[in-house]
Structure 1
């Protein structure tokens, strides 16, 4: 097949995250299986307009919002060169059904009701949520949907997507867990592995740190990742009085990420919403269990509560869960081992094979442009 992914960003974008890792990982696996794969995404400072990576051709056009118009224009020009389009609906759709009747698959990691309210309070957020919750179901009716968790599938059904049209393809893992579990740091350490954006609620990790400082001497927090909310988080750490116990590492290599996560005793994920949360899987691969909010959706599947980590209801419960696990080495290590086993069972190859079936079916009908 000739497959085109339309995505707002790629993994080299400063705001790139788990959604972009999913797209490129599945694209890489599809290319390895003999398909011709193109990823169209926005440009960013220092990026090349055209690049080939892992068998996937990247074409970068437009900016944060104009990429959507460029994407439609590219589809019109190349309508006979593409068998199936994967339209990545990251809050806003590319609206590819406007220029293609067939051969369109929508990829949604999660719906963004909470994010619209948090990041764009007021009219802009209400418009964004209207587009996602009302126009997307109308525009993509009778098109197949891919998503990464049963939780996200239920949320899609709640906004009007037919359940029969939804296929769940869970995230994989880029590298198998190491044969030897990394050693924990000598003193208690927490880690947050995340983009630095408001809806990840990393401020809650600072509150956990402050409330446990007298209970666990030497407790430290490593924040791994970067994003446009960085300055606000630095200020939040100062406001909590934990600046000297927090290290902001920014973007790091995969090897450095694994080192930081592996030496942590626990990973804290206070995000409002996740489709799956690749960071939890990546932490589990290093034998590090996670604590997250059960209300965040997909984390209820990337964490098996009480076995590979803990799911909690609010900040108070998060503090207590972290406290208990930091004090209980036996239970913590058992959870880490189970998290590692779960991570080892997830591969991008299996994810791509499942997605490939949906793409083949969508592409088999061919395309008839309006």
Structure 2
């Protein structure tokens, strides 16, 4: 098949995250299986406008805000008549490919998460209100007129609230490092947080939960892994027993996560929560807030979800950590997710089965 994937970021983008890991893992497997795969994404400083990586082609044009317009322009000039399937990978703002692809190519959306509450954390008050109550509902209602693939049941339920009813849940994937790190657990009770130091990840909630739990576990320690705009202020205000390690290598991240007794996650919402899966694959259970995405990955990984309050996390931490110190869980295959080979095959099958056939006239490639 000739497949075009639209995503405002590719893995080279400095703001890339779990959605881009998902995209890269799937696309290189589709390419290896013999499909002709193209990814259209925003321009990235220092990277070419057109390159081939891991067997698939990447076209880059536009910025975070103009990439959607540039995708349509590129389609009219270079794409029309040359693809069988178009995947609109949505990160808050859809490309709405089903509204402008009308040459015989089938279209389907792939949604990792909705934004909703995150608007009020990441945007100024006026824009946050507009985005939460006008823009995103309009975007998702339009997107829901066509078929959608969602990476979790939480995302499917969120999309349904906006009127999307033809939604198919597809699996998340993870491949543990090889060889799998198996260091001894720390002698001192240790929790770990791994993520960007940004408001919607709520690192302050994790710090507060550990402070509260220390009333029952006095020598409890917390490792904070990750960079971000809040790193400096959080580090300056860090209470005793909280260590900020900043951005670390993948090898160091895996080593630290494997040595910790528990992983803590407190995001406002996620599409899935890949870090929960990573921790479980290393034998480290998670206590997470019971919010969209995190509840899916945490339950799949055999962890525990709690009401989204530091007090609830602290109580569960103090209750569960002693038992996990006595007997650590065994590493969970794929962290409760699926192999990327399985994800790539399942996603393509679902896309072929559920994709929308356009109503417009058929065109033949030159």
User: CA, structure 1 residues 68+54, in 2 after alignment: closer, same or farther (shift >3 Å)?
Assistant: same
Per-residue CA deviations over 1:63-117 (Å, capped at 9, x if unaligned) read: 2212121112112221122221111211111222332135211111121111112
User: CA, structure 1 residues 4+195, in 2 after alignment: closer, same or farther (shift >3 Å)?
Assistant: farther
* Aligned-partner Cα distance in 1 for 2:65–2:28: 26
Does the 8 A contact of 1:27 with 1:56 survive in 2? yes
- 2:242 counterpart (242, 245, 248): 245
User: CA, structure 1 residues 367+329, in 2 after alignment: closer, same or farther (shift >3 Å)?
Assistant: same
Please, which runs of 5 or more residues in structure 1 have no aligned partner? none
User: CA, structure 1 residues 248+297, in 2 after alignment: closer, same or farther (shift >3 Å)?
Assistant: same
Partner of 1:350: 342
**Offset of residue 176 of structure 1:** 6.1
**Offset of residue 344 of structure 1:** 6.1
Q: In structure 2, the residue corresponding to 1:304 is in which secondary structure?
A: helix
Partner of 2:226: 225
- RMSD of Structure 2 on Structure 1 (CA): 2.6
What is the TM-score when the length of structure 1 is the normalising length? 0.87
User: CA, structure 1 residues 341+17, in 2 after alignment: closer, same or farther (shift >3 Å)?
Assistant: same
1:309 aligns with 2:307: no
- 1:272 counterpart (255, 268, 280): 268
Partner of 1:74: 74
* Aligned-partner Cα distance in 1 for 2:221–2:344: 38
Per-residue CA deviations over 1:6-55 (Å, capped at 9, x if unaligned) read: 11212232221111111111112211222111112122333333333222
Q: In structure 1, the residue corresponding to 2:37 is in which secondary structure?
A: strand
**Offset of residue 199 of structure 1:** 0.8
Aligned residues: 357
**Offset of residue 277 of structure 1:** 0.8
* Aligned-partner Cα distance in 1 for 2:332–2:261: 14
What is the TM-score when the length of structure 2 is the normalising length? 0.88
Partner of 1:235: 233
Q: Which moved more, 1:211-220 or 1:184-193?
A: 211-220
Does the 8 A contact of 2:107 with 2:356 survive in 1? no
The residue correspondences of 1:166-315 to structure 2 (distance < 5 A) are 166-175=167-176, 178=179, 181-213=182-214, 215-227=216-228, 230=229, 232-242=230-240, 245-250=242-247, 252-294=248-290, 296-304=291-299, 308-313=302-307, 314-315=309-310
User: CA, structure 1 residues 179+202, in 2 after alignment: closer, same or farther (shift >3 Å)?
Assistant: closer
Per-residue CA deviations over 1:212-236 (Å, capped at 9, x if unaligned) read: 4454455333333333xx3x24313
Does the 8 A contact of 2:94 with 2:143 survive in 1? no
Partner of 1:26: 26
Partner of 2:155: 152
* Aligned-partner Cα distance in 2 for 1:363–1:245: 49
Partner of 2:136: 132
Does the 8 A contact of 1:177 with 1:344 survive in 2? no
Q: In structure 2, the residue corresponding to 1:328 is in which secondary structure?
A: helix
**Offset of residue 312 of structure 1:** 0.4
